[in-house]
Amino acid sequence: MEDGIDIEWTHLEEVLRQYGERLVALYRENMEQSGRPASGDLAQSLHTEVVAGDTTIGVDLSLLEYWKYIEHGTAPHWAPIEPLRRWVEVKRMLPRPMANGKLPTPNQLAHMVQWKIAHEGTEGKDDLSRALQQTWDEFGQAVADAVTLDISHEIDYVLSYLLVA
């Protein structure tokens, strides 16, 4: 900043980096516990980065776009069949015999899942929400302390500059 103080957030950036790492770890743990990582693609896509702008600093979480459907669930809708075929294949579901006594094929299983989603939707698991809360519970005080430390260092620097001048 030209007219203001340009604070170096070195302590805050380090705490936020650790925060991001812990968030990813907890989100993966929560997904595992709720039985959601069929392919593991969502868990493997997780990535955090500390981003500092002119007036903000924070942690960006990058992940596959479909996270929101897993997180919040969906209302009944007609889901596309191809992702369901892949999901049935990856999930390795153990089918039960149909009314005719035969086991359904993977394609039939995908259509059964599609029908269920069309009539019932899907249930959300809130894995990310829980991970965010858990991470904040662990790091909230450390974030506040880092901000205080960085500002304190900046004040000390300004005061030392004013005393010399």
Tens of pLDDT along the chain (165 residues) come to 455 567 889 999 999 999 999 999 999 999 999 887 678 899 999 999 999 888 889 999 999 999 999 999 999 999 999 999 998 988 887 888 989 999 999 999 999 999 999 999 999 999 999 999 999 999 999 999 999 999 998 888 888 777 776
Q: Are 87 and 110 in contact (CB under 8 A)?
A: yes
Cβ-count burial 127-155 (b if 16+ within 10 Å, e if not): bbebbeebbeeebeebbeebbeebeeeee
CB atoms within 10 A of CB 165: 5
Whether pTM > 0.85 for this model: the answer is no
Q: Are 139 and 18 in contact (CB under 8 A)?
A: yes
